[in-house]
A = this chain, B = another copy of it.
Amino acid sequence: MSELKGACIIGQSGGPTSVINASALGAIRTALDTAFITKVYGAAHGIRGVLDDVLYDMDYEDSQELEHLRHTPSSALGSCRYKIKDPDADDTDYRRILDIFRKYDVRYFFYNGGNDSMDTCNKISKFMLRAGYECRVMGIPKTIDNDLFGTDHCPGYGSAAKYIATSCAEVYQDARVYDTPMITVVEIMGRHAGWLAGASALASLAGAGPDLIYLPEVAFDMDVFLRDMTALYKKSGKVVIAVSEGIHDKDGKFIAEYGSDLAQSKDSFGHAQLGGLAATLASVVKRETGAKVRGIELSLLQRCAAHEASATDIEESYAAGAAAVSNAVAGVTDKMVGFERVMENGRYSCRIKLLDLSIVANTEKKVPREWINEAGNGVLPPFIEYALPLIQGETALSRENGLPRFARLKKVRAHRL
A: residues with CB less than 8 A from B are: 16, 18, 44-45, 48, 72-75, 78-81, 162, 165-167, 169-171, 173-180, 184, 202-203, 205-207, 259, 262-265, 267, 269-271, 273-276, 279-280, 282-283, 286-287, 294, 296-297, 299-301, 303-308, 310, 388, 391-394, 399-406, 408
Q: Which residues of B contact A399 (CB under 8 A)?
A: 394
Q: Is the CB of B169 within 8 A of A404?
A: yes
Chain B residue at smallest Cβ distance from A173: B74
Given contacts A73-B174, A205-B400, A262-B274, could you give 16 more A-B pairs where the C-beta distance is less than 8 Å? A45-B179, A73-B173, A79-B178, A80-B179, A165-B403, A171-B304, A203-B403, A206-B406, A207-B408, A262-B269, A264-B267, A296-B299, A296-B300, A296-B301, A307-B307, A394-B402
User: A177-B78, A279-B273 known; A310 and B170 CB under 8 Å?
Assistant: no
Q: Which residues of B contact A394 (CB under 8 A)?
A: 399, 402
The prevalent SS among residues of A at the interface is: mixed
Q: Is the CB of A48 within 8 A of B406?
A: no
Q: Is the CB of A403 within 8 A of B205?
A: yes
Q: Is the CB of A404 within 8 A of B79?
A: no
Contact partner, A179, options B48, B170, B180, B402, Cβ 8 Å? B48
Q: Is the CB of B263 within 8 A of A301?
A: no
User: A306-B170, A406-B207 known; A273 and B286 CB under 8 Å?
Assistant: yes
User: A167-B301, A404-B170 known; A263 and B273 CB under 8 Å?
Assistant: no
Q: Is the CB of A287 within 8 A of B300?
A: no
Q: Which residues of B contact A287 (CB under 8 A)?
A: 269
User: A274-B280, A306-B170 known; A78 and B178 CB under 8 Å?
Assistant: yes
Number of copies of chain A assembled together: 2
Chain B residue at smallest Cβ distance from A82: B179
Contact partner, A166, options B264, B267, B393, B403, Cβ 8 Å? B403
- The residue among A78, A265, A402 with the most chain B CB atoms within 10 A of its own CB is A402
Minimum distance in angstroms from A321 CB to a CB of chain B: 18
Minimum distance in angstroms from A225 CB to a CB of chain B: 17
Q: Which residues of B contact A171 (CB under 8 A)?
A: 300-301, 304
User: A170-B305, A402-B391, A403-B205 known; A267 and B263 CB under 8 Å?
Assistant: yes
Q: Is the CB of A400 within 8 A of B275?
A: no
Q: Would you mind naming 12 contact pairs between A and B with Cβ atoms under 8 Å apart?
A: A78-B177, A79-B179, A169-B404, A170-B301, A170-B306, A170-B404, A174-B300, A207-B406, A259-B274, A263-B271, A274-B274, A276-B279
Q: Is the CB of A304 within 8 A of B170?
A: yes
Q: Is the CB of A279 within 8 A of B271?
A: no
Chain B residue at smallest Cβ distance from A49: B179
